Structure 1
Amino acid sequence: MKRGVAFVAAMLTVSAWMGVFASSARAADAPRGQIVANSNACMGCHAVDRKLVGPSFLQIAAKYKGDAQAPAKLARKVKDGGSGVWGMIPMPAHQSMSDADIRTVVDWVLAGAPSR
Protein backbone atom coordinates (compact mmCIF):
# COMPACT_ATOMS: atom_id res chain seq x y z
CA MET A 1 0.00 0.00 0.00
CA LYS A 2 2.85 2.42 0.76
CA ARG A 3 4.20 2.02 -2.79
CA GLY A 4 0.80 3.04 -4.20
CA VAL A 5 0.69 6.18 -2.06
CA ALA A 6 4.27 7.03 -3.01
CA PHE A 7 3.44 6.56 -6.69
CA VAL A 8 0.40 8.86 -6.45
CA ALA A 9 2.46 11.48 -4.59
CA ALA A 10 5.18 11.27 -7.22
CA MET A 11 2.65 11.64 -10.03
CA LEU A 12 1.06 14.66 -8.35
CA THR A 13 4.50 16.24 -7.96
CA VAL A 14 5.34 15.62 -11.62
CA SER A 15 1.93 16.93 -12.68
CA ALA A 16 2.37 20.11 -10.64
CA TRP A 17 5.88 20.61 -12.01
CA MET A 18 4.62 20.16 -15.58
CA GLY A 19 1.94 22.78 -14.96
CA VAL A 20 4.55 25.27 -13.75
CA PHE A 21 6.78 24.39 -16.69
CA ALA A 22 3.93 24.85 -19.17
CA SER A 23 3.03 28.24 -17.66
CA SER A 24 6.66 29.32 -17.81
CA ALA A 25 6.94 28.13 -21.40
CA ARG A 26 3.84 30.09 -22.41
CA ALA A 27 5.24 33.22 -20.73
CA ALA A 28 8.58 32.68 -22.47
CA ASP A 29 6.78 32.34 -25.82
CA ALA A 30 4.97 35.65 -25.37
CA PRO A 31 6.44 38.64 -27.19
CA ARG A 32 8.48 41.02 -25.03
CA GLY A 33 6.00 43.83 -25.72
CA GLN A 34 3.15 41.77 -24.32
CA ILE A 35 5.17 40.85 -21.24
CA VAL A 36 6.03 44.51 -20.60
CA ALA A 37 2.40 45.57 -21.19
CA ASN A 38 1.18 42.94 -18.73
CA SER A 39 3.68 44.01 -16.07
CA ASN A 40 2.88 47.72 -16.38
CA ALA A 41 -0.91 47.63 -16.03
CA CYS A 42 -1.53 48.43 -19.71
CA MET A 43 -3.99 45.56 -19.88
CA GLY A 44 -6.15 47.18 -17.21
CA CYS A 45 -7.35 49.71 -19.78
CA HIS A 46 -6.48 48.07 -23.12
CA ALA A 47 -7.07 44.67 -24.69
CA VAL A 48 -5.59 43.33 -27.89
CA ASP A 49 -8.84 42.94 -29.80
CA ARG A 50 -11.59 44.90 -28.04
CA LYS A 51 -12.13 48.31 -26.50
CA LEU A 52 -12.01 48.43 -22.72
CA VAL A 53 -11.45 51.79 -21.05
CA GLY A 54 -9.16 52.75 -23.93
CA PRO A 55 -8.96 51.54 -27.51
CA SER A 56 -7.82 48.03 -28.39
CA PHE A 57 -4.25 47.58 -29.50
CA LEU A 58 -5.57 46.54 -32.91
CA GLN A 59 -7.49 49.82 -33.19
CA ILE A 60 -4.34 51.75 -32.32
CA ALA A 61 -2.29 49.82 -34.89
CA ALA A 62 -4.91 50.49 -37.58
CA LYS A 63 -5.15 54.20 -36.77
CA TYR A 64 -1.39 54.74 -36.98
CA LYS A 65 -0.64 52.34 -39.83
CA GLY A 66 1.79 53.96 -42.26
CA ASP A 67 2.52 56.91 -39.95
CA ALA A 68 6.31 57.12 -39.64
CA GLN A 69 5.92 59.45 -36.65
CA ALA A 70 3.65 57.03 -34.76
CA PRO A 71 6.34 55.36 -32.61
CA ALA A 72 7.53 58.71 -31.25
CA LYS A 73 3.98 60.09 -30.84
CA LEU A 74 2.75 57.03 -29.00
CA ALA A 75 5.84 56.75 -26.81
CA ARG A 76 5.32 60.36 -25.75
CA LYS A 77 1.61 59.67 -25.13
CA VAL A 78 2.43 56.67 -22.92
CA LYS A 79 5.06 58.61 -20.96
CA ASP A 80 3.10 61.87 -20.54
CA GLY A 81 -0.50 60.66 -20.72
CA GLY A 82 -3.18 62.63 -22.52
CA SER A 83 -6.75 62.73 -23.76
CA GLY A 84 -8.94 63.66 -26.68
CA VAL A 85 -7.66 61.26 -29.33
CA TRP A 86 -9.93 58.34 -28.36
CA GLY A 87 -12.58 60.09 -26.30
CA MET A 88 -12.97 61.95 -23.04
CA ILE A 89 -11.32 59.44 -20.69
CA PRO A 90 -7.69 60.49 -20.20
CA MET A 91 -4.79 58.11 -20.39
CA PRO A 92 -2.66 58.46 -17.27
CA ALA A 93 1.03 59.25 -17.53
CA HIS A 94 3.46 56.37 -17.10
CA GLN A 95 6.48 58.35 -15.93
CA SER A 96 7.98 55.40 -14.08
CA MET A 97 8.20 53.22 -17.21
CA SER A 98 11.60 53.23 -18.84
CA ASP A 99 11.86 54.65 -22.34
CA ALA A 100 13.08 51.23 -23.52
CA ASP A 101 10.00 49.48 -22.07
CA ILE A 102 7.68 52.09 -23.57
CA ARG A 103 9.27 51.65 -26.98
CA THR A 104 8.99 47.86 -26.67
CA VAL A 105 5.25 48.10 -25.97
CA VAL A 106 4.65 50.73 -28.67
CA ASP A 107 6.51 48.68 -31.29
CA TRP A 108 4.53 45.58 -30.32
CA VAL A 109 1.21 47.47 -30.50
CA LEU A 110 2.05 49.01 -33.88
CA ALA A 111 2.94 45.52 -35.16
CA GLY A 112 -0.65 44.49 -34.36
CA ALA A 113 0.06 43.08 -30.88
CA PRO A 114 1.01 39.62 -32.15
CA SER A 115 0.81 36.77 -29.64
CA ARG A 116 4.08 35.22 -30.88
Structure 2
Amino acid sequence: MKCVFAHYKALLFACCTFPICAVASPLTINLPAESISLRPSDLPGYAIAQQKCGICHSADYIEYQPPGFSQKQWTGLARKMKESYGAPLSESEVGLVGEYLAATYSGQPAAESKPVIKAIELAANTVDQPKVADAKALLDQNGCLGCHAIDRQVVGPAYHDVAVHYKGNAQAISQVIDHISHGGSGRWGAIPMPPFPGLQPAELKQLADFVLAQ
Protein backbone atom coordinates (compact mmCIF):
# COMPACT_ATOMS: atom_id res chain seq x y z
CA MET A 1 0.00 0.00 0.00
CA LYS A 2 2.89 2.35 0.87
CA CYS A 3 4.47 1.56 -2.50
CA VAL A 4 1.29 2.42 -4.39
CA PHE A 5 0.93 5.69 -2.45
CA ALA A 6 4.56 6.58 -3.15
CA HIS A 7 4.05 6.06 -6.87
CA TYR A 8 0.92 8.20 -6.74
CA LYS A 9 2.79 11.03 -4.98
CA ALA A 10 5.58 10.86 -7.56
CA LEU A 11 3.09 11.03 -10.42
CA LEU A 12 1.21 13.94 -8.83
CA PHE A 13 4.48 15.84 -8.30
CA ALA A 14 5.48 15.29 -11.94
CA CYS A 15 2.14 16.57 -13.22
CA CYS A 16 2.30 19.68 -11.07
CA THR A 17 5.97 20.40 -11.78
CA PHE A 18 6.22 19.85 -15.52
CA PRO A 19 3.85 21.09 -18.24
CA ILE A 20 1.56 18.42 -19.59
CA CYS A 21 1.77 19.69 -23.17
CA ALA A 22 3.65 22.33 -25.08
CA VAL A 23 1.94 25.46 -26.36
CA ALA A 24 0.86 24.86 -29.96
CA SER A 25 2.42 27.03 -32.62
CA PRO A 26 0.11 29.08 -34.90
CA LEU A 27 -1.46 27.07 -37.71
CA THR A 28 -1.64 28.51 -41.19
CA ILE A 29 -4.35 27.22 -43.52
CA ASN A 30 -4.16 27.92 -47.23
CA LEU A 31 -7.58 27.67 -48.88
CA PRO A 32 -7.70 26.22 -52.40
CA ALA A 33 -8.35 28.60 -55.27
CA GLU A 34 -11.92 28.94 -56.56
CA SER A 35 -12.45 26.27 -59.23
CA ILE A 36 -16.20 26.43 -59.92
CA SER A 37 -18.07 29.37 -61.40
CA LEU A 38 -21.75 30.09 -61.94
CA ARG A 39 -23.24 28.69 -65.12
CA PRO A 40 -23.57 31.54 -67.63
CA SER A 41 -26.96 32.77 -68.78
CA ASP A 42 -28.55 35.72 -70.58
CA LEU A 43 -31.10 36.07 -67.79
CA PRO A 44 -30.70 39.17 -65.57
CA GLY A 45 -30.47 36.98 -62.46
CA TYR A 46 -27.08 35.71 -63.63
CA ALA A 47 -25.41 39.11 -63.23
CA ILE A 48 -27.11 39.59 -59.85
CA ALA A 49 -25.93 36.18 -58.64
CA GLN A 50 -22.39 36.92 -59.81
CA GLN A 51 -22.41 40.22 -57.98
CA LYS A 52 -24.13 39.33 -54.71
CA CYS A 53 -24.22 35.58 -54.09
CA GLY A 54 -20.45 35.25 -54.33
CA ILE A 55 -20.06 37.63 -51.39
CA CYS A 56 -20.82 34.82 -48.93
CA HIS A 57 -20.26 31.49 -50.66
CA SER A 58 -18.71 29.85 -53.70
CA ALA A 59 -20.64 28.59 -56.71
CA ASP A 60 -20.30 24.94 -55.69
CA TYR A 61 -22.87 25.59 -52.94
CA ILE A 62 -25.45 25.87 -55.72
CA GLU A 63 -24.18 22.70 -57.40
CA TYR A 64 -24.89 20.81 -54.16
CA GLN A 65 -28.62 21.62 -54.25
CA PRO A 66 -31.08 18.99 -55.58
CA PRO A 67 -31.21 19.13 -59.40
CA GLY A 68 -34.99 18.87 -59.39
CA PHE A 69 -35.56 22.11 -57.46
CA SER A 70 -38.51 24.10 -58.78
CA GLN A 71 -38.44 27.82 -59.45
CA LYS A 72 -40.38 28.32 -56.21
CA GLN A 73 -37.78 26.36 -54.24
CA TRP A 74 -34.84 28.21 -55.81
CA THR A 75 -36.53 31.53 -55.07
CA GLY A 76 -37.16 30.41 -51.51
CA LEU A 77 -33.47 29.59 -51.13
CA ALA A 78 -32.51 33.05 -52.41
CA ARG A 79 -35.03 34.66 -50.03
CA LYS A 80 -33.56 32.69 -47.10
CA MET A 81 -30.14 34.15 -47.96
CA LYS A 82 -31.69 37.62 -47.87
CA GLU A 83 -33.76 37.28 -44.71
CA SER A 84 -31.65 34.90 -42.59
CA TYR A 85 -28.11 35.71 -43.64
CA GLY A 86 -28.36 39.35 -44.72
CA ALA A 87 -27.60 38.92 -48.42
CA PRO A 88 -27.90 42.39 -50.01
CA LEU A 89 -30.77 41.41 -52.32
CA SER A 90 -33.91 43.41 -52.98
CA GLU A 91 -37.18 41.49 -53.24
CA SER A 92 -37.21 41.82 -57.03
CA GLU A 93 -33.62 40.55 -57.20
CA VAL A 94 -34.61 37.52 -55.12
CA GLY A 95 -37.13 36.63 -57.83
CA LEU A 96 -34.68 37.18 -60.67
CA VAL A 97 -32.03 35.02 -58.99
CA GLY A 98 -34.63 32.29 -58.43
CA GLU A 99 -35.60 32.44 -62.10
CA TYR A 100 -31.97 32.20 -63.20
CA LEU A 101 -31.22 29.25 -60.91
CA ALA A 102 -34.36 27.37 -61.95
CA ALA A 103 -33.67 27.84 -65.65
CA THR A 104 -29.93 27.16 -65.49
CA TYR A 105 -29.64 24.44 -62.84
CA SER A 106 -33.02 22.69 -63.06
CA GLY A 107 -33.80 23.15 -66.75
CA GLN A 108 -37.07 24.99 -66.10
CA PRO A 109 -37.88 27.29 -69.04
CA ALA A 110 -37.60 30.89 -67.91
CA ALA A 111 -40.92 31.73 -69.59
CA GLU A 112 -42.75 29.51 -67.08
CA SER A 113 -41.69 31.69 -64.19
CA LYS A 114 -42.35 35.08 -65.84
CA PRO A 115 -45.76 35.60 -64.15
CA VAL A 116 -44.23 34.84 -60.75
CA ILE A 117 -41.32 37.20 -61.37
CA LYS A 118 -43.65 39.93 -62.57
CA ALA A 119 -45.73 39.64 -59.40
CA ILE A 120 -42.58 39.84 -57.27
CA GLU A 121 -41.39 42.93 -59.13
CA LEU A 122 -44.75 44.65 -58.69
CA ALA A 123 -44.77 43.84 -54.96
CA ALA A 124 -41.18 45.06 -54.68
CA ASN A 125 -42.22 48.57 -55.66
CA THR A 126 -43.64 48.95 -52.17
CA VAL A 127 -40.70 47.46 -50.23
CA ASP A 128 -37.50 48.26 -52.14
CA GLN A 129 -35.60 51.29 -50.98
CA PRO A 130 -34.93 53.90 -53.66
CA LYS A 131 -31.33 54.30 -54.80
CA VAL A 132 -29.53 57.07 -53.01
CA ALA A 133 -26.43 58.92 -54.16
CA ASP A 134 -24.38 58.05 -51.10
CA ALA A 135 -21.23 55.90 -51.06
CA LYS A 136 -21.92 54.40 -47.63
CA ALA A 137 -25.41 53.39 -48.70
CA LEU A 138 -23.91 51.71 -51.77
CA LEU A 139 -21.48 49.83 -49.52
CA ASP A 140 -24.40 48.55 -47.42
CA GLN A 141 -26.59 47.69 -50.41
CA ASN A 142 -23.87 45.60 -52.05
CA GLY A 143 -22.51 43.86 -48.97
CA CYS A 144 -19.06 45.48 -49.32
CA LEU A 145 -18.58 45.89 -45.57
CA GLY A 146 -18.90 42.15 -45.07
CA CYS A 147 -15.44 41.76 -46.61
CA HIS A 148 -13.83 45.18 -46.11
CA ALA A 149 -13.39 47.76 -43.37
CA ILE A 150 -12.00 51.28 -43.43
CA ASP A 151 -8.93 50.73 -41.27
CA ARG A 152 -8.36 46.98 -40.93
CA GLN A 153 -8.25 43.87 -43.08
CA VAL A 154 -11.31 41.62 -42.93
CA VAL A 155 -11.55 39.21 -45.87
CA GLY A 156 -10.19 41.80 -48.28
CA PRO A 157 -7.84 44.70 -47.65
CA ALA A 158 -8.69 47.78 -45.60
CA TYR A 159 -9.84 50.69 -47.75
CA HIS A 160 -7.09 52.79 -46.17
CA ASP A 161 -4.49 50.31 -47.43
CA VAL A 162 -5.98 50.43 -50.91
CA ALA A 163 -5.82 54.23 -50.87
CA VAL A 164 -2.17 54.14 -49.80
CA HIS A 165 -1.37 51.59 -52.50
CA TYR A 166 -2.78 53.82 -55.24
CA LYS A 167 -1.45 57.11 -53.90
CA GLY A 168 0.24 59.03 -56.70
CA ASN A 169 -1.13 56.71 -59.39
CA ALA A 170 -2.69 58.80 -62.16
CA GLN A 171 -4.81 55.80 -63.22
CA ALA A 172 -6.07 55.04 -59.72
CA ILE A 173 -9.74 55.92 -60.33
CA SER A 174 -10.06 53.92 -63.54
CA GLN A 175 -8.18 50.93 -62.09
CA VAL A 176 -10.23 50.78 -58.90
CA ILE A 177 -13.46 51.13 -60.91
CA ASP A 178 -12.35 48.23 -63.11
CA HIS A 179 -11.50 46.07 -60.10
CA ILE A 180 -14.88 46.75 -58.46
CA SER A 181 -16.80 46.09 -61.66
CA HIS A 182 -14.98 42.93 -62.77
CA GLY A 183 -13.70 41.47 -59.49
CA GLY A 184 -10.80 39.05 -59.55
CA SER A 185 -8.08 37.63 -57.29
CA GLY A 186 -4.33 37.82 -56.82
CA ARG A 187 -3.99 41.55 -56.20
CA TRP A 188 -4.53 41.27 -52.42
CA GLY A 189 -4.34 37.53 -51.86
CA ALA A 190 -5.88 34.32 -53.16
CA ILE A 191 -9.46 34.93 -51.98
CA PRO A 192 -11.41 36.22 -55.00
CA MET A 193 -13.52 39.35 -55.04
CA PRO A 194 -16.84 38.87 -56.88
CA PRO A 195 -17.66 41.14 -59.82
CA PHE A 196 -20.28 43.86 -59.52
CA PRO A 197 -21.55 44.24 -63.11
CA GLY A 198 -24.91 45.62 -61.95
CA LEU A 199 -23.44 48.86 -60.63
CA GLN A 200 -23.94 51.93 -62.78
CA PRO A 201 -20.89 53.98 -63.89
CA ALA A 202 -21.80 56.80 -61.50
CA GLU A 203 -22.06 54.32 -58.62
CA LEU A 204 -18.71 52.77 -59.47
CA LYS A 205 -17.16 56.24 -59.52
CA GLN A 206 -18.68 57.05 -56.12
CA LEU A 207 -17.29 53.88 -54.58
CA ALA A 208 -13.83 54.36 -56.11
CA ASP A 209 -13.71 57.97 -54.89
CA PHE A 210 -14.74 56.85 -51.41
CA VAL A 211 -12.09 54.10 -51.21
CA LEU A 212 -9.30 56.32 -52.49
CA ALA A 213 -10.21 59.07 -50.01
CA GLN A 214 -9.54 56.86 -46.98
Normalising by the smaller structure, the TM-score range is 0.5 to 0.7
Aligned pairs for 1:68-87 (under 5 A) are 68-87=170-189
**Equivalent position amino acid for 1:67 in 2:** N
How far apart in 2 are the matches of 1:77 and 1:61? 14
* Number of residue pairs the alignment of both structures matches: 82
| 2:167 equivalent in structure 1 | 65
Q: Structure 2 counterpart of 1:71, which letter? A: I
| Match of residue 44, structure 1, among 146, 160, 163 | 146
Q: How does 1:1-116 map to 2 (within 5 A)?
A: 32-112=134-214
Query: Secondary structure, in 3 states, of the residue corresponding to 1:62?
Result: helix
Please identify which structure carries the higher helix content.
Answer: 1
**Structure 1 residues not aligned, in runs of 5+:** 1-30
Query: Cα RMSD between the aligned structures?
Result: 1.3
TM-score, normalising length: structure 1? 0.67
Higher RCO, 1 or 2 (CA under 8 Å, sep at least 6)?
1
Q: TM-score, normalised by structure 2?
A: 0.37
Identity %: 40
Instruction: Return the alpha-carbon distance in structure 1 between the equivalents of residues 144 and 185 of structure 2.
Output: 16
Bigger radius of gyration, 1 or 2? Answer: 2
Shift of 1:102: 1.1
2:140, 2:151 → 1: CA distance?
15
